[in-house]
Amino acid sequence: MKQQTGKKDSALYVGIDLGTSRSAISASNDIKDWVESYVGWPKDFIAAKVLGKDVLFGSEALENRLSLELYRPLERGVIKEGIERNEEAVRELIRYMIGLVKPQPEQKIYAIVGVPADTLKINKLAIRKAVSEYVNSLMVVSEPFSVAYGLNLLNNALIIDLGAGTVDFCIMHGSIPDENDQKTILTAGDYVDEQLYSYMSEKYPDSTFNLNMIRQFKERYSFVGDTEEAIHVEIPVNGRPVMHDITNEIRRACESILPAIIDTTSEMIARFDPEFQAKIKRNIVVAGGGSLIRGIAQYISNALKEYGPCNVRCVEEPLYAGSDGALKLAADMPEKYWEEL
Amino acid sequence: MMKLLRRETQLRQTLLKALYDENLRVIGKKPATKASRFPFLKGRLLFLYVMLLLFSFGYTDYLNPLVSSNDAVINATIQHRNYAGDYPDEIFPSDYSSLLNETAVPLKRVFGLEVKTIIIDAGHGGDDPGAIGTLGTMEKNITLDIAQRLKERLEEHMRYNVLMTREKDKSLSLKRRIEIANSSKADIFISIHVNYLPAKPIDIIETYYFGPSSDENTLRLAAKENEGSRYSLSDYNEVIQKIGNTLKLQESRVLAAQIQKNLFLHMKTLNKNVLDFGVKRAPFLVLLGVDMPGILVEVACLSNKEEEYKLNNPNYREDIARYLEAGIIQYLLNGRSNS
Ligand SMILES: Nc1ncnc2c1ncn2[C@@H]1O[C@H](COP(=O)(O)OP(=O)(O)O)[C@@H](O)[C@H]1O
Ligand SMILES: [Zn+2]
């Protein structure tokens, strides 16, 4: 990301996407990185000794979860204890992520933080508080909006952000999206996992698997529509690894969220006048981890076609679409605005 | 082309400025926009107003002890799984953690602070025993007991008005249930039932909202649960076909999903063999009739003998009530996206 003025070069601009399941950061020094949104503190001092750390993040935290108090701070809930610990988890996560992009000592940091669309209803102030310790100035923005800004989709477009806990829809029509332009539904990635779990339990009652394994299968093999080849995975049965065909289960689970997505899409588009409808339909973009489901754009596009031509595509880098957009916002933001914040 | 570019630059500037203003407001550096809903507020101002409103909800809620006590209640429910030592902990720690991760509980999100009215419908009653287990356990008694427990649990929150279609063992037609629900002006309708699947020795949990279905088993179940009405499904065929994707339907689906998710994931920790039959549509007349979002949940399976034993244990029924509560609360706190 290029900076326009010499003055700006002295500061480090960062775009952060704080997700429920994954968080990413993009910085103006061209460093990007991501982490699974888990923060864990050792349960007791023995655990702390064994782990050799005061706090663990991402996959490392997940791997050691039995010795940790584990938080997924942006999930709509806490697992234990109260709100303070959750806010602290956000604070730790931010500190860690800013560390990942290696700011110079004393370098000023200006940050735009994208949060799940429904976090706007929670407590933006708490998020500000958590972030502000580590940056000189910051702004909080809703995630689909930063994705749209990053892709230069300021007008005539619909963003479908398919995350873990929610699918967020956002229509861009040349102004800041208002209440009517955004909608959230709850059957998203986690729901696919649950469906897959139940289909597989039904088909293979004697096999041993858990939700983490299920999620890995999904992320590895997800698809909708037709597939060229069958999907086989190894799962223990009575302690022995056995190959299981899960092709249909994967397809059914992935497709289970599509009717609601398609309904919501056509319903949101239908609110606009026909000319605008036609334009939006040529500009539908699927983002978020769910956009990696093979065939998803084609499937949605086929389903919407009966009401006229449409074009659905997936973002190129779902992991960084939000943080890159936030970085672009940060870089474009006039200097004087930063000073006020 | 130039013009287009200029327009885009302008648009960008407007968006950046609006974002900046909104953030200023969050930290209280600018006086709040007057909270009124005039047409001229459309567009940018409306957006800011909405943000402000949402923010202030979030904020009040953050300070609201009621909500944290909700959290405590629900958290307690999650931790409480090894009750009375009756049911061995059959689930592996790794399963358990991942299950916990999946069953998030609401933190501090509310979309309104007004009191919500919930109406609970205990299935069957009086002359209509519903399903009967091999040990003689009657569905009507189980549904009433769970409904009462659920009512008490919800009332402890001090912010819900909780009503029941019946509080005793008495006959009640579907028509009467619908009338009671509609005249109560409740916000949501929860009908509690217990499944009976004679052909299969399995144990399932499933939640329904109203809609057409082509699945034979579902239709059979609907015919059974519709028995208490003087109508036949064919009387409603036209309505069923016509019912579109209304707000009530969408809300019912979200409510059903929250209840199914909470009930199943938690019950699974107590009973490894329980299967998730998910959220389904079915033409239950009682759900068609009520004006508010409504669901019908089949909380357990009386045809399964082990399950019948468990249903006779008050702790087990309390657990079911607790997880129904968790689903309802989760819906009320986050469920509706646009309302
Ligand atoms: N290849 C994949 N196929 C299907 N789903 C995926 C894939 N990769 C990630 N996901 C799912 O995407 C969701 C996370 O998406 P993300 O946009 O990071 O969500 P959030 O913003 O909620 O953190 C998870 O449910 C994850 O399992
Ligand atoms: Zn019944």
How many CB atoms within 10 Å of residue A339? Answer: 9
Measured between alpha carbons, how far is A145 from A325 in angstroms, rounded to an integer?
8
Of A202, A237, A255, the one marking the end of a domain is A255
CB A242, CB A145: distance < 8 Å: no
State how far the Cα of A55 lies from the Cα of A71, in Å rounded to an integer: 11
Angle between helices B314-330 and B139-155 (to 10 degrees): 50
Q: Which domain holds residue A204?
A: 189-255
Indicate if ligand 1 lies below 6 Å from the C-beta of A290. Answer: yes
pLDDT at B60 over 80: no
State the ipTM, two decimals. Answer: 0.81
Name chain B contacts of A189, Cβ cutoff 8 Å.
none
Q: How many domains does chain A have?
A: 2
Q: For A230-260, how does the pLDDT look when each residue is reduced to its tens digit (9 = 90+)?
A: 999 999 888 888 999 999 999 999 999 999 8
Instruction: Please indicate, yes or no, whether residues A21 and A115 belong to a single structural domain of this protein.
Output: yes
Same domain, A203 and A139: no
Q: Which of A45-54, A323-332, B56-65, B74-83 has the highest mean pLDDT?
A: A323-332
Domain ranges of chain B: 69-333
Predicted confidence at residue B214, as pLDDT, reads 67
Measured between beta carbons, the chain B residues lying within 8 angstroms of A212 are: 94, 98
Are A21 and A102 found together in one domain? yes
- Tens digit of each residue's pLDDT (9 = 90 or more) over A295-311: 999 999 999 987 788 99
Residue A57 Cα, gap to closest chain B Cα (Å): 15
Q: How far is A73 from chain B (nearest CA, A)?
A: 10
Q: What is the DSSP string of A260-319?
A: HHHHHHHHHHHTS-HHHHHHHHT-EEEESGGGGSBTHHHHHHHHHHTTS---EEE-S-HH
Dihedral (CA of B251, B253, B254, B258) sign: positive
**Residue A87: inside a domain, yes or no?**
yes
CATH number of the structural domain spanning residue A249: 3.30.420.40
pTM of the model: 0.58
Contact B257 A187 (CB under 8 A): yes
Judging contacts by C-beta atoms under 8 Å, the chain B residues touching residue A332 are 12, 16
Q: Grade residue B88 by pLDDT with cuts at 50, 70 and 90.
A: very low
Cα distance between residue B298 and residue B308, in whole Å: 14
Please indicate whether residue A291, judged by its CB atom, sits closer than 6 Å to ligand 1. no
Answer with the one of A234, A255, A276 that is the final residue of a domain: A255
With respect to residue A310, please indicate whether it lies within any of the assigned structural domains.
no
Q: What is the CATH number of domain B69-333?
A: 3.40.630.40
Residues whose Cβ atom is located within 5 A of ion ligand 2: B 123, 130, 193
